[in-house]
């Protein structure tokens, strides 16, 4: 009968160990899920900021190009294009 009692104790210890392992795995899964959620939010936020900055930069560059084209057109129409020093001219 001592063998059955020992076997029951070992099975009980195994069950307890499995329950603890299951709890730890559950906690680990929750931690991983939260970490992935935070990472996803961070990536989304960074992407939105980058897109906005790129959009603003492209708009400024477009405005600058338009301004330079208008300036060149005005200089040509006034006939003073050749009088402007090279360092003030638009680079192509």
**Mean predicted confidence (pLDDT) in 9-37:** 97
Measure the CA–CA gap between 61 and 47, rounded to whole angstroms.
Answer: 21
Helical residues (DSSP H) of 1-92, grouped into ranges? 2-78
Delimit the domains of the chain by residue range. Answer: 2-88
Measure the CA–CA gap between 19 and 38, rounded to whole angstroms.
Answer: 29
Would you say residue 85 has pLDDT above 90?
no
Identify the band that residue 78 occupies on the pLDDT scale cut at 50, 70 and 90.
confident
Identify the band that residue 43 occupies on the pLDDT scale cut at 50, 70 and 90.
very high
pTM: 0.58
Measure the CA–CA gap between 44 and 57, rounded to whole angstroms.
Answer: 20
**Mean predicted confidence (pLDDT) in 61-72:** 89
């Amino acid at each position: 009968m001592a063998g059955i009692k020992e076997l029951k104790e070992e099975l009980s210890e195994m069950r307890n160990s499995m329950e603890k392992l299951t709890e730890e795995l559950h906690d680990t899964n929750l931690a991983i899920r939260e970490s992935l959620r935070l990472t996803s939010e961070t990536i989304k936020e960074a992407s939105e900021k980058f897109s906005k900055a790129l959009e603003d930069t492209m708009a400024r560059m477009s405005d600058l190009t338009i301004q330079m084209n208008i300036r060149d057109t005005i200089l040509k129409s006034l006939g003073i294009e050749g009088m402007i020093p090279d360092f003030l001219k638009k680079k192509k």
